[in-house]
Amino acid sequence: MLSNKQKKKLLKKHSQAKPMSKETDYISKLNYYRELYTDVPEVVFLINNILQSDRLIKAGMLPQDLPELILPDDIQDQIFAIVNAKYAKGDPAGDHLWNQLTNELPKADKLLRSYRDYLEETYGMWAYISAPFVKAIADYVGDAAVLEVMAGNGYISRGLQNLGRTVYPTDSLAWETENQTGNHQVIDVEKLDAISAIQKYSDKVKYVIMSWSPDKDTIDMKILNEIRNANHNLTLIVIGEKNGATNSTEFWQQANFIDQPAANKLNEHHQPFDLIKDQVYLVD
């Protein structure tokens, strides 16, 4: 049996090899399954959450929190009960519906689990950034200014700015030609690599946000060392999967995790919705 880490690697490999071809393709499939499973509340609930999330992001707004996008273990039992309540035993129409719903279930399940791939490909959103999550960050930083390094399209910075916080979004934009990072900016992102950004803004900010640093790149350690060498204390707000899909092994070994109660509070609105279990960590 594959471990969760192996599953995530396979999922990542599949995403790179066979990405969702078109935005409308993914959404149209979701709408098809919402109609097909219209009498199955558990399936409709999950699909509606994705569709609402997508509508908000497309409109330039941050989405709401997501539930875990995984079908319950007893979903076939639920479908069986629904079909039995609708059709008499032995009715061919009931048998047809049962076969249709159960045969399509693996495809619907795979579609639900592919939402992160869709977000990455369509919007360049790697960590799922919800409005309640950004509000929690804003509450945590208070009136202090924030620097976001490797900001990508700037979802976090835009959300903080909308809440009246002073924020400096920066990114080297080195990934522009490889994926959607930097191609759909929701706020003006200053073209600046992470180390240069810290050197430029360290005297103006109290917090530095680093979200989804690549797992095969030690830039995160350089960032951490630069923060530790700053003229005054800076707190690094890290969003990533510890010893998993993000950040270098060295970073997770060297990071000094602080203020766990505050981190727990931030994570109330940053819960995993798929195999990736990224969380918020406060580091100095």
Residue 179 has pLDDT above 70, yes or no: no
What is d(CA 38, CA 227) in angstroms, rounded to the nearest whole number? Answer: 52
φ/ψ of 282, rounded to 5, equals -105, 125
Dig out the tokens for 200 from the structure: 């430029």
Chain centre to alpha carbon of residue 200: 29
What is d(CA 39, CA 81) in angstroms, rounded to the nearest whole number? Answer: 11
For the segment 129-155, the average pLDDT, to the nearest whole number, is 97
Q: What is the pLDDT of residues 216-229, one digit of tens each?
A: 999 999 999 999 99
- pLDDT at 23 (0 to 100): 59
What is d(CA 195, CA 214) in angstroms, rounded to the nearest whole number? Answer: 15
Radius of gyration for the alpha carbons in the chain, expressed in angstroms and rounded: 21
For 242-270, give the DSSP string.
TTTTBS-HHHHHH--B--HHHHHHHHTT-
| Confidence at 173, pLDDT banded by 50, 70, 90 | confident
| Confidence at 27, pLDDT banded by 50, 70, 90 | very high
Q: Which residues contact 23 (CB under 8 A, 6 or more apart)?
A: 118, 122
Pairing between β-strand 146-149 and β-strand 167-171 as defined by DSSP bridges: parallel
Question: Has this prediction a pTM greater than 0.75?
Answer: yes
Q: Kindly state which CATH superfamily the domain 131-283 is placed in.
A: Vaccinia Virus protein VP39 (3.40.50.150)
List the single range of 16-30, 53-67, 253-267 with lowest mean pLDDT.
16-30
For the segment 266-279, the average pLDDT, to the nearest whole number, is 96
First to last CA, the chain: 38
| Mean predicted lDDT score pLDDT of the chain | 91
Amino acid at 115: Y
- pLDDT at 184 (0 to 100): 79
| Confidence at 24, pLDDT banded by 50, 70, 90 | confident
- pLDDT at 94 (0 to 100): 95
Q: Interior CA angle at 190 toward 189 and 192, to 5°?
A: 125
Domain boundaries of the chain, sorted by first residue: 23-123, 131-283
Contacts of 82-88 with C-beta under 8 Å, sequence gap 24+, read 82/39, 82/40, 86/39
